[in-house]
A = this chain, B = another copy of it.
Amino acid sequence: MPRAKSKAVHLGRPRSDAAVSHAEILDAVSELLKEKPARDLTMDAVAKRAGVGKPTLYKWWPSKGALIMAMFHDRFNAILEVPEATSAEEALRTRVKHLVAQCNGLFGKVVADLIAEGQADPSILKELYESHIRPRRASTVADIERGIASGEFLAATDPELLLDAIVAPMYLRLLLRHPALTEQYGKQLIDQALLGIRTPKWRPGRRGKRDARSA
């Protein structure tokens, strides 16, 4: 008589270490995406390269899109840390520089692929936005709000809108591939976006952070 599955005592073959096979599968996805667009990625190819069977893939991920999303999640979930000591403008410039570099690598390709896949499967768009874009935005918005609080940026600044004006053109170039997304372009975008935002008289202290003025 089999015992009730009350404790850590199970009958039969235990689950294999998901961490290991998952890593191998996501590696395979990552490597294949370096070679071909997501559209041309076949589950058979992933299974073959990972050394597993196709049903194994479907056991853990319901679709190709979900699998790619999982790889993206696993590999590109880091949010850039920006030292609080710098001015908000410097923080923005650092982030944008970093984003340009990422967009010109595998990160950029996969983001573009995911947005493309998302046009036929909105759940991908939703997850991409909720799990990746939203948190990244939040941390940059925090930078901007810091800049507003410190008097570096005008009080009337809308952080979300400012962010959109800087970042969206970069993503669009990523998607359209033309013209190329360069670091210089990122700089120009910041320069322009800050034209009407920057407080004229504001001077960064050498540590950057000045007390918020009272009234």
Which positions in A face B, CB cutoff 8 Å?
37-40, 112-113, 115-120, 122, 125-126, 128-129, 133, 156, 158, 161-162, 164-166, 168-169, 171-172, 175-178, 188-189, 192-197, 213
Contact = CB atoms under 8 A, between A and B. Distances in A.
Nearest to A178: B129
Contact of A196 (B40, B161, B175, B196): B196
Given A37-B120, A168-B169, 11 more contacts: A39-B119, A39-B120, A116-B118, A156-B213, A161-B189, A164-B169, A165-B169, A168-B168, A168-B171, A195-B195, A195-B196
A194 B128 CA distance: 31
Contacts of A128: 176
B37 A119 contact: yes
A55 to B, nearest CB: 24
A120 B129 CA distance: 22
A176 B112 contact: no
Contacts of A188: 158, 161
Contact of A192 (B37, B162, B213): B162
A119 B129 contact: no
Nearest to A170: B168
Contacts of A119: 37-39, 112-113, 115-116, 175
A158 B156 CA distance: 24
A169 B122 CA distance: 19
Contacts of A115: 116, 119, 175-176
Contacts of A195: 195-197
A49 B145 CA distance: 54
8 contacts: A38-B119, A113-B119, A115-B175, A116-B116, A161-B189, A164-B172, A165-B166, A171-B172
B169 A125 contact: no
B126 A178 contact: yes
A118 B117 CA distance: 11
